[in-house]
Amino acid sequence: MNIRSTPTLLCTLAIAAFAAGLSNARADTPWQQAHPWREQVNNRLQRQNARIHQQVAEGELSRAQAHRLHVRDHSVRMQERRMAARDGGRITPRDRRILNRRENRLSRRIGH
């Protein structure tokens, strides 16, 4: 190895270490690992919330329509929390089916 390649090697190693740190930062938290179904429900609600905002920005939904959809979104989120509180912090397969049905209806109302 010559002296000129040393800075390149160090730079490459630094980039690799930085990338490894980023991938570890994205690892699931203990809560996410312990509650995968709740995490799935909450992630879907976040994506639907972003879709509502996008539809408003594109002029496909009025602010009033978006408000009604946000109210429904919040209602699903609160139902998920009540279900989890009732079952020791977890949601049951039945709860998951109920929440998925509500999210599906909300998704259809949001559109594409």
pLDDT at position 58: 93
Distances (CA, A) of 96 to 19, 20, 50, 92, 111: 35, 34, 22, 6, 22
Structural contact between residues 45 and 77, judged by C-beta atoms closer than 8 angstroms: yes
| 44 in a structural domain | yes
pLDDT at position 56: 93
pLDDT at position 41: 85
Type of residue found at 73: D
| 16 in a structural domain | no
| 13 in a structural domain | no
| 10 in a structural domain | no
| 19 in a structural domain | no
Structural contact between residues 9 and 67, judged by C-beta atoms closer than 8 angstroms: no
Q: What's this model's pTM, rounded to 2 decimal places?
A: 0.66
| 28 in a structural domain | no
Cα torsion through 50, 56, 59, 65, rounded to 10 = 120
Domains of the chain: total? 1
Q: Which residues of the chain have pLDDT under 50?
A: 3, 5, 9-11, 22-25
Could you list the residue range(s) of the whole structural domain that residue 70 is in? 35-110
pLDDT at position 59: 93
Compute the distance between CA of residue 70 and CA of residue 87 in angstroms, rounded to an integer: 26
